[in-house]
Structure 1
C-alpha cells in the first residue's frame, strides 16, 4: 500500500492511498465470498464457482463495489495509524480510480487550543437576586395549573376557552377552515394569527360573527404576510377559568403533602432560592467561558464543524419528525430557509 500525505492546513490533512495488485487480493477474495453465494454461473452450482471465473463473469469493478463500504474506512484507518495522525471525527473519503485502485481521505486533526492568559481571568459571582413578589407569582402559577373550566353564558373575554367553527379567507383562497376548534383566548399566544384573540372578545355563543384582520408583514408564512384576511366565526361554547381560593385547602389540593398554605409557601421559597442559586452559578460559568473564549485561540478543522452541523440538523429533523411535523413546514413556522437554519 502506497500512502502519501499532504501538508497540514487548518488542522486537516489529505492522505492519498494507492493499492498494488497484491494488496488487492485479500479484498477481492472478500468480495468473492459475498458474490459467489448469490450469482448463477453456468456450469457451476451456486456458491461453487472459482474466484477467477466469478471475477470474469461478474467483473472486477463490480466485485470491488461490493466491499467499498467497508474497504475504504478500513484502509483509511490503517493509513491514519501508519502516519501516526491525531485524528478526530470521521474522514471524508473520495474515490479516485478503481484501476489502479486510488482514493483520498481528508482527515480532521485534533483542534489546537491556546488558552492565552487564562490564569489572569477574574470574574466575581453575583449573589442570587429574588424578586419581592416571586413567591406570590409562583403560587399564582400553581393556582392557574389547578384551575377548572366551567361553561358560561356571557360573551367571550380574554382568558376564556372557546369551541368554534372558523373559516378564514384571503381573497378567494381559504387559509383556515376548522370545525370544533378549541382556542384559548389569549393576546400573547397569537394563534392562529396575531390579533385574532382580541377580535373574539365580545362574541356570543351560537351567533355567527365576521371580522377582518391584517396579517403582520413579519408573519412566519411569507405567502400570508402583509395580507388582509376575512374570518367567519361561530362560537359553539364558552368556558371561563375558575380559580381556587388561596388557602389551606388549596395547598392540600396541590398533592405534595402540604397541610397548610404556610407549608406550601415555605417549600416554594426554598425552590425559588435553589433555582436562583443555580441560575447564578450558570451565569457565572458562562461569563468565565465567554472571557476565556476572548483570550483563547482555537484552530478547528472545517470538516469537524461540518459533521457537527450535519449531526445537529439530523437530530432536529428527528425531533420534528417525532412531533409529526414536516421539516419544511417547521422551517416556515420559524421564518427560516434550510440554508439559514
Structure 2
C-alpha cells in the first residue's frame, strides 16, 4: 500500500536516508560550540597587522570543511522540527529542507562562524582585546569598518570554499608595574580633641535650632533679615523683590556676589534702609547687566536670630543619651571613625599617585580619545546644569578640554593599572561584599535593599560599585605592604575648660 501513496513513499525513503546518515554519529554527544572551536583551532588561518598604537588588524580564513560541518549540524537540528508541507515533522527529504531553509541556515551559520572564528583567532595569537572588534565590510562601492551587527549583513558566507574576513581590535594596554611592596606613604598624626568634640556637638545642636524673631534688637552677624529688595543697574529697569530672605554675611543675590553684605547690614534695625554696591560678573545670566555696577537697596522689615537648644537633660534625652558624657563619647567615636576614613583615603591617593608616576603604560589611541570626549561632554553638561552661560563655556573650551583630558587619561590609566594589580594579587569581590555595600546605601537613604539594587542594575551602577570595592581592596592590600611614615598633623589649638563645655 505504501507504494501507492506518494507522500508515504517519500517519507519512507526519507526515513531510510536518515537512518544511514546517523550510522557514523558518535555515541557520546559533544558540546557543539566546543567542537566548532576545536575544528577552527586545527585549520584556521590568521594573519595580523599593526594599524596603530595597541590596535591590530586580523585577516581570518575559515576552512571550507568547517563551514560545511556547521551547515550539516544546523540542518540536522532543523530537520527534526522543520515544517514542510506534505510531510510530518522530521520526515521531509534533506534536500527539500535545505532548499526551503537555506537563507535562515546561512545567516545562523555565518553569525556563529564569524564570532567563533574571531574568538579563536584572538586566542591563537594571544591577543587580549579591549572591547568588541570592528569588521571590514563592502558597502556600496567601498569598504567600511563597522560594528558586528551592522557589518554582518555585508559579510557573505560562500556556497563553496573557505570564508575570509578582516576585523580590527584595540588591545589591552601593555603594563610594566613597579615594585608594589614598600611604597612610601605618609600618615599624618591627628587626634580628636575635646575642642573638636565640643564644636561637633554645637553643629549637632544647630540642626535642632530655629530662627526666632528679634523684637527690638539690631542685626548681628549671621542673622536672617526679611526685607524689600531693589537692584538698580544703570540704563536698565530696576529689579524688585518683596519680603526677600537675606542673611547678614557674604552671599550671592540674583547671581551677584556681595562679600561685605554682613558689614552693610550690621547694626541695622527693623524699618531702616541700607544700600550697598557690587560688580555684576561677566558670566551673569542677564547679558545686559554683565560687567556693570549694581546698587542694592534693602528696606528691613524683620530680624530673626538662630537659637540652638541648650545641652540640657531634655535635649539629651530627646537625642537618646542619658547624659552629656555619653553623648561626648559617642560623638568622639564617630569623629574618630570619620577621621580614620579620611586619612585612609589620603593614603590611598598617595598610592595612586605613586602608581601613575612609576608604572609604564601605553593606552590605545581610539579608546583614549573616546574616554576624553565622554569626560568633556560630562563636564559641559555639569556646567550647563550649574547655569554657566554657553558663550562662557565656549570661551574657555580649550582650557576645559585640556584640564579634563589630563584628568580623564589619569583615570583611565589607573583603571588598567589597578585591574592588572588585582589580577596579579588574585583580589576579587564576592556577591556578599557587593550586597553589604548595597545594604549600607539603602540604610543611609532609608530605602529598601531590592529597590536600590534594581536602580543600580538598571544602569552601570553595579559595575561602578564593584570596581570601587575592588579598587579599595587592592589599595588596602598595597597599604598593608607599604612603608608608613608618620608625619605631624595640622596644629591643634590647646584645649581649655571652656572648650570642653
Task: Name the CA distance, whole Å, in 1 between partners of 2:309 and 2:278.
Answer: 36
Do the aligned residues in 2 keep the contact of 1:162 with 1:183 (CA within 8 Å)?
yes
Task: State the match for 1:23 in structure 2.
Answer: none
User: Is 2:179 the partner of 1:114?
Assistant: no
Aligned twin of 1:69: none
**What is the rounded CA distance, in whole Å, between the counterparts of 1:235 and 1:4 in structure 2?**
82
Q: Which runs of structure 2 are paired with 1:161-200 in the superposition (5 Å)?
A: 161-173=224-236, 177-187=240-250, 189-191=251-253, 192-195=256-259, 197-198=261-262, 199-200=264-265
Q: Secondary structure at the match of 2:50?
A: coil
Name 1:129's counterpart in structure 2: 191
SS at match of 1:178: strand
TM-score for both structures, normalised by structure 1: 0.64
Tell me by how many angstroms 1:330 deviates: 4.2
2:323 is matched with which residue: 253, 260, 272?
Answer: 260
The match for 2:143 is 102
Q: 1:309 to 1:227 in 2, by over 3 A?
A: same
Determine the structure 1 residue equivalent to 2:316. Answer: 251
Q: How many residues align?
A: 273
Cα deviation, residue 8, structure 1: 4.8
Tell whether 2:385 aligns with 1:327: yes
**Shift in Å, 1:205:** 3.0
Q: How does 1:166-245 map to 2 (within 5 A)?
A: 166-173=229-236, 177-187=240-250, 189-191=251-253, 192-195=256-259, 197-198=261-262, 199-214=264-279, 221=284, 227-245=292-310
Output aligned runs, 1:305-316, within 5 Å.
305-312=368-375
Contact 1:80/1:87 (8 A) holds in 2: no
Q: TM-score, normalised by structure 2?
A: 0.45
Deviation at 1:5, TM superposition (A): 6.1
8 Å CA contact 1:331–1:337 kept in 2: the answer is: no
| 8 Å Cα contact 1:250-1:261 kept in structure 2 | no
Q: Which residue of 2 aligns with 1:270?
A: 333
Bigger share in helix: 2
Change beyond 3 A, Cα 1:230–1:4: farther
2:222 partner SS: coil
Is the contact between residue 14 and residue 104 of structure 1 (CA under 8 Å) also seen in structure 2?
no
1:211, CA displacement in angstroms? 2.7
Contact 1:170–1:230 (CA under 8 A) maintained in structure 2: yes
Shift of 1:167: 2.6
Q: Is 1:152–1:239's contact at 8 Å kept on the other side of the alignment? A: yes
Q: Work out whether 1:286 is the aligned partner of 2:328.
A: no
Q: Alpha carbons of 1:184 and 1:210: their partners in 2 closer, same or farther (altered >3 Å)? A: closer
Structure 1: state its 5+ residue gaps. Answer: 18-73
Counterpart-to-counterpart distance in 2, 1:169 and 1:16? 72
The Cα of 1:9 is off from its aligned counterpart by: 2.9
Note if contact 1:207-1:235 (Cα within 8 Å) is conserved in structure 2. Answer: yes
- The CA distance in 2 between the partners of 1:290 and 1:226, in whole Å, is 41
Q: Counterparts in 2 of 1:28-67, with a 5 A limit?
A: none
CA displacement at 1:247 relative to structure 2: 2.7
> Offset of 1:251 from its aligned partner?
2.1
Structure 2 counterpart of 1:65:
none
Shift of 1:186: 2.5
Q: Is the 8 A contact 2:284 2:389 kept in 1?
A: no
Q: In 2 relative to 1, CA 95–12 (structure 1 residues): closer, same or farther, beyond 3 Å?
A: closer
Name 1:35's counterpart in structure 2.
Answer: none
CA radius of gyration, larger in: 2
Secondary structure of the equivalent of 2:202?
helix
Is contact 2:225-2:246 (8 Å) kept? yes
- Tell me what 1:140 maps to: 202
> Which consecutive unaligned segments of at least 5 residues does structure 2 have?
1-45, 61-111, 147-167, 405-501
RMSD: 4.1
Counterpart CA distance in 2 for 1:337 and 1:272 is 41
| 1:125/1:213 CA distance change after superposition, 3 Å | closer
Distance 1:209 1:326 in 2: 34
Aligned to 1:62: none
Deviations for 1:121-177, whole angstroms, at most 9, x for unmatched residues? Answer: 243544443345210110111122111111113332221112333232332236854
Q: In the alignment, is the contact (CA less than 8 A) between 1:15 and 1:104 conserved in 2? A: no
